[in-house]
Amino acid sequence: MRSIFVVALAVWLCVFGLVFQAVAREKIVNVFGWSDYIDPRVIEDFTKETGIKVFFDTYSSNEDFEKHLANAKIGYDVLIVSGPTLQRQIAAGLYQKLDKSRLPNSKTLWPEVMAGLAAFDPGNQYAVNYLWFTTGIAYNVAKANELLGQGSEAADSEPSPGDSWDYLFKPENLKKFSSCGIYVLDSAEDLFPIALTYLRLDPGSVRQNDLRRAAELLAGIRRDVKKFSSTEYVDALVNGDICLAVGWSGDGINAMNRAHESENGIEISYGIPREGAPMWLDNLAIPKNAPHLDEAYAFMDFLLRPAVAARNSNFTHFATGVLASKSSVDKDLSENKSIYPDPGTMQKLFAVRNRDPAMQKIIAREWLRAKTGK
């Protein structure tokens, strides 16, 4: 009986050992990023080509991202992280420096975009850009033409609403568009740099006088803004409930496409104002404790392939940081200067570094006062 038990145990240990080795040999990469931010077929193709299984967890906000990482029981290998969050977490020692020799496709990255990323990652040591977008103005084309007298000599001499922040800050323009509804992002991180830029000041200024002037400018739009919201303006534009919104380029393009598909007679356009606008970057980085380092580099370099980057741009309607991919991006995106700006517009885009906590509190207080008058 004892010998039978010993034999059975030996067989069990042998089988367990084989299973353990099989599990140990299994190649995986754990990724944490925004939902709906990568073409699912790209992940399938990566696994087919490399044999590496991708486990993709998602988050819905930067706050959710940081909270989840602090409590995560899983070891992530690749993080898709926004610029401001990246800046804070580099300072906290969360990331490892990238070995660019293991990312040969990083040579095709967009220089101007990587220069923007350097505001958060000096020297581009810890991250590479994945996708990026801007803050601008989306508007109802027919309503704008009507309000501006499109076709008249006077209207032809004026820019369209997407061309200038004048349509947000000049009272005579605000009055016109308030008649059909204006929504503005509920985001001090966007609106204070925009106001500072409009005043021809440094968008990242921390000078008290500069911030006071920006707050006064923003307070002046309160009575004509129907709502401050970062989530509702796409539906409001598509349904014709409003005619102008300060929002993000991805949402602007989403509104354009949804309005077209609904065939409700509404045409939406989006523009980057000529005075300059914020650029926001989502980036790929590897945590210091990444358990599958080889797989992490393989996945990142795959995403940086021009053809693959183009597929993700087509799927998300955001611009990719891989400049070499532009020729493979759908023409309705690549030829849209609001998504893929021309060199002149690129020079006017800016990435704003995090301000210190004390200054952030001041800005948050001034933003609340600008919105509510209290």
Report how far Cα 63 is from the mean position of its chain's Cα atoms. 14
Q: CA 307 to CA 356: how far, in whole Å? A: 39
Lookup result for tokens 């490892």: 96
In this prediction the pTM is 0.85
Residue type, 56: F
C-alpha distance from residue 112 to each of 31, 201, 270, 322, 350 (Å): 26, 21, 22, 11, 10
Report how far Cα 296 is from the mean position of its chain's Cα atoms. 21
Q: CA 102 to CA 300: how far, in whole Å? A: 9
Longest Cα separation, the chain: 103
Q: Please name which of 364, 360, 350 lies closest in space to residue 120, comparing C-alpha atoms.
A: 350
Q: CA 91 to CA 7: how far, in whole Å? A: 56
Pairing of strands 78-82, 349-350: unpaired
Q: Please name which of 63, 111, 64, 34 lies closest in space to residue 283, comparing C-alpha atoms.
A: 34
pLDDT tens, residue order, the chain (374 aa): 444 434 444 444 444 444 444 444 589 999 999 988 999 999 999 999 999 999 999 998 888 888 888 887 679 999 999 999 999 999 999 999 999 999 999 999 999 999 999 999 999 999 999 999 999 999 999 999 999 886 544 444 556 899 999 999 999 999 999 999 999 999 999 999 999 999 999 999 999 999 999 999 999 999 999 999 998 999 999 999 999 999 999 899 999 999 999 888 999 999 999 999 999 999 999 999 999 999 999 999 999 999 999 999 999 999 999 999 999 999 999 999 999 999 999 999 999 888 888 898 999 999 999 999 87
Please tell me what DSSP assigns to residue 95. Answer: B
Token couple for 133? 């977008």
Domains identified in the chain and CATH numbers: 2-132+281-342 (3.40.190.10), 134-279+353-372 (3.40.190.10)
Q: Please name which of 85, 94, 79, 83 lies closest in space to residue 118, comparing C-alpha atoms.
A: 83
Q: CA 346 to CA 279: how far, in whole Å? A: 9
